[in-house]
Amino acid sequence: MKKFDIPSSYRSPIIGKVKAKRKLDDPRKQDFSPAILNLGGIDFIISRHFGFCFGVENAIEKSYLAINENPDKRIFLISQMIHNPDVNNDLIDLGIKFIQDTNGDQLIPWEDIDKEDVVIIPAFGTTIEIEKILIQKGVDIKTYNTTCPFVEKVWNRSAKLGDNSFTVIIHGKHNHEETRATFSHSEQNSPSIIVKNLKEANWIIDYINGKLTREQFAILFKGKVSVDFDPDIHLSKIGVVNQTTMLASETQEISEMIKKAMLSKYGLQDINNHFADTRDTLCYATNDNQSSTIEILKIEADLAIVVGGYNSSNTTHLVELLEKKFKTYFIRNEKEIDSINQVNSFDIHQKKIQRFNTFIEKKDKLRIIITSGASCPDSVVDNVIQRIIELKSGKSNQ
């Protein structure tokens, strides 16, 4: 795999060595069991796969290239490069400005952008509508387009489904940048609908089985379907793709549920004309990270720490998996650890930060799980480990 030129500050002396050894010992990625590293008398259980993926490193490399190659130009990002506050703040400090926030709300009017400006398309990709705006302004949208190739793979799969007259169901969060981009590309040549979870997938099945009216369907999926979407027509031929960072098991379950409903309605003999068996469209990094986390569930530990941006979808799903068994803390970086007892952790259900006064247990032998999302620098994970060691040894006053 290509080695990217990213700032050395994102790399880690501890994590880097662990990853290098695991890659050497297991080049085919057949062993998803975690590594156990004893540091400062603590067993750190380190996930087999985590941290920067291909798409993230590609995006960071191109962003820094844009800065170095255009010292006298204004440089903009359509929205956050990736969902990690440390990386995004570094880019802001270097003078890059965001045109939109993560919800698609305008921060800088399009009128303020001209053809002399450099505009970076983030790893999530962008919508057809935004591409057209930039092209009309004469802005170059190719040189610094950092769209992840695995996101583009989903777009290509959607296009193929559309060519065969299938409706595209996108398993994703409808307001996530990547899902907005995928939906925009998908609806160009196929009816499209976004489902967030099993509950929303069941609404589709209820309509197929005649348990929902058109009016009820329209209310439930307002803002989540393509223009002129007709459920009576467009739910007769279906294919499923997804936002590449969703939970793999949930995508599979949604596909199986819908396929079962189509089998019940149209029969086995005609199923291929009504349901397209698309292979899983999650990216390799999401699959590897989730598989590694599932493997961790087989062992015992005192607590789990997940490091990453709070608006990171793939990181949130790691928290979902771990919290089924372990007391799990979701933190942005080491600064959220105030003391051996106190930590600020993001609650993914209530969408807010909670302060805990019982963090690291007072026991001689501690086992702590460590992992992070695909947009989190290894150096941040390293800092978390070092912070815990420092506090446990009593060398810090905080």
The pLDDT of residue 362 is: 79
Give residue 257's pLDDT: 95
Q: Is the residue at 102 inside a domain?
A: yes
- Phi/psi of residue 264, each to 5°? -65, -35
Average pLDDT over residues 3-15: 91
* Mean pLDDT on 174-197: 96
**Which of 105, 137, 169 represents a domain boundary (last residue)?**
137
Asked whether residue 169 falls in the same domain as residue 131, the answer is no
Per-residue pLDDT averaged across 311-316, rounded?
Answer: 94
Same domain assignment for residues 351 and 389: yes
Contact between 177 and 185 under an 8 Å Cβ cutoff? The reply is no
Instruction: From the candidates 178, 187, 200, 336, give the one annotated as an active-site residue.
Output: 178
Domain assignment present for residue 363? The answer is yes
Is position 210 within any domain? yes
Closest residue by Cα to residue 194 from 217, 220, 232, 225? 225
Residues 166 and 246 in one domain: yes
β-pair type (303-307, 192-195): unpaired
Q: What letter does residue 96 receive in the DSSP assignment?
A: -
What CATH code is carried by the domain that includes residue 102? 3.40.50.11270
Q: Is pLDDT above 60 for 185?
A: yes
Can you give the pTM of this predicted structure?
0.92
Rounded mean pLDDT of 8-15?
Answer: 92
161 and 268 within one domain: yes
Has residue 6 got a pLDDT over 80? yes
| Domain stops at, among 255, 276, 297 | 276
Q: Give residue 254's domain range.
A: 157-276
**170 and 259, same domain (yes or no):** yes
Both 235 and 162 in one domain: the answer is: yes
Whether the pLDDT of residue 398 is over 60: the answer is no
Active site includes 178? Answer: yes
Would 1 be classed as within a structural domain? no
Q: Are residues 377 and 319 in the same domain?
A: yes
Q: Is residue 229 part of a domain?
A: yes
Q: Which two tokens stand for residue 174?
A: 């409808």
**What are phi and psi for residue 321, nearest 5 degrees?**
-70, -45
Segment 62-99, tens digit of pLDDT: 999 999 999 999 999 999 988 999 999 999 999 999 99
**Which pLDDT score is estimated for 1?**
60
Residue-wise pLDDT tens digits, 194-244: 999 999 999 999 999 999 999 999 999 999 999 999 999 999 999 999 999
Q: Looking at the structure, do residues 88 and 17 belong to the same domain, yes or no?
A: no
Do 247 and 175 fall into the same domain? yes
Give the end-to-end CA distance of the chain in Å, rounded to a whole number.
42
Residue 146 forms part of a structural domain? no
SS3 of residue 362 by DSSP = coil
Do residues 326 and 375 share a domain?
Answer: yes
Residue 37 to residue 341: CA distance in whole angstroms = 22
Q: Would you state the pLDDT for residue 307?
A: 98
Q: So what's the pLDDT on residue 3?
A: 80
CATH of residue 190: 3.40.1010.20
How many domains are there within the chain?
3
Q: Does 142 fall in a domain?
A: no
Which is nearest to 120 in space by CA: 176, 65, 53? Answer: 65
The pLDDT value given to residue 394? 77
> Which domain-ending residue is among 276, 300, 320?
276
pLDDT at residue 280 greater than cutoff 70: no
Rounded mean pLDDT of the chain? 94
62-76, 273-287, 352-366: lowest mean pLDDT where? 273-287
Q: Are residues 317 and 383 in the same domain?
A: yes
